[in-house]
Amino acid sequence: MSVISRIKEEIAIIKARDPAMHSDWEVFLYPSFRAIMNYRVSHKLYTKGHFFLARYLSQRSARRTGIEIHPGATIGRGLFIDHGHGVVIGETAIVGDNVTLYQGVTLGGTGKESGKRHPTIGNNVMISAGAKVLGSFEIGDNCKIGAGSVVLSPVPSNCTVVGIPGRIVKRNNISCPSMELNQVDLPDPIKEEINELKTNKVTMEERVQELEVMVLKLADMVAKNS
C-alpha cells in the first residue's frame, strides 16, 4: 500500500470512530495517526534487520506522542488509538484488524520470559481506558475489555470482560450473572482485609467480655464456699 493510500485509510478510520474530528486536516494533529504511521516505517526496518534504526524511530515517536509501540509488534489494519497517551504495545504483541485502544492501555508481558510474551488481540476488539492485558494469550474477536480491567488469561470471542482480575460478564450478548462485576466498585483487597480485622476484633472483644463474666462468677462461688 502506498503512503497516500495509507494516509487516506487512516483519515477514514479516525473520521469513522471519533466524532470530535471536523475536517480531514485534523487527522495530522492526532498522536494516534503519527504513532501508527511511524510504527509502519519502523516495523519495516525491524523486519529487515535494522533493529537500532527501528528502535530509534519508535522511541522518538513515543517521546512525541506518548504512545509506545515496539517495532517488532504485528499490527493489522484499522487500528485506532483514541487520545492515546500512555498506550504501550510490546514487542511480540499481535493486534488484529479494526481494533480500538483508549488511553493508558498496556499490551504487555508478566516478566522477563523469552519468546512470545505479549498478548494476541483478535479482530474488532475494543480495549477501554487504563486496561492492562498482560501475558502471552489470546483475546478473541469482537471482545470488549472494560476500563481499568487487568486481563491475565485468555478470553473467548464475543465476550465482555471487566474487573481486577478480569472476569467475563457477557458472552455472545448474554450476561453471566454468576461472574458479574461492577465496573465502578471494583474489589479492594486492602479494604476487605481491614474489614475482616475489624470483625475479628469485635468477636475477640465479645469473647473477652464473656470470659470476664465467667471469671467473676467463679470468684463469687469460691468466695461463698470458703
Judgement on whether residues 126 and 193 belong to the same structural domain of the protein: no
Q: Quick one: pLDDT at residue 46?
A: 92
Degrees, nearest 5: CA angle 160-150-112: 130
Residue 165, preceding peptide bond in cis (omega within 30° of 0):
yes
- Using CB atoms within 10 A of its CB, is residue 5 exposed (0-12), middle (13-18) or buried (19+)? exposed
Judgement on whether residues 62 and 154 belong to the same structural domain of the protein: yes
Judgement on whether residues 218 and 152 belong to the same structural domain of the protein: no
pLDDT surpassing 80 at residue 47: yes
Helix, strand, coil proportions of the chain in percent (round to 5)? 40, 20, 40
Q: Quick one: pLDDT at residue 174?
A: 62
Each residue of 175-220: pLDDT tens digit? Answer: 554 444 444 454 555 677 888 889 899 999 999 999 988 888 888 8
Each residue of 1-33: pLDDT tens digit? Answer: 666 777 777 777 776 666 667 777 777 777 888
CATH code for position 41? 2.160.10.10
Q: How far apart are CA 179 and CA 181, in angstroms?
A: 6
Judgement on whether residues 123 and 161 belong to the same structural domain of the protein: yes
Judgement on whether residues 123 and 69 belong to the same structural domain of the protein: yes
- Using CB atoms within 10 A of its CB, is residue 147 exposed (0-12), middle (13-18) or buried (19+)? middle
Domain that holds residue 170: 3-179
Residue type, 107: L
Q: DSSP label at 87? A: -
Each residue of 71-127: pLDDT tens digit? Answer: 999 998 888 888 878 899 988 999 988 888 988 899 988 876 778 889 999 998 989
Judgement on whether residues 168 and 205 belong to the same structural domain of the protein: no
Number of domains into which the chain is organized: 2
Q: Quick one: pLDDT at residue 42?
A: 92
Inter-helix orientation angle 31-47/51-65, to 10° = 170
Judgement on whether residues 66 and 119 belong to the same structural domain of the protein: yes
Query: Considering only 22-26, 48-52, 56-60, 120-124, which range has the smallest mean pLDDT?
Result: 22-26
Cα 224 to chain centroid, rounded: 72
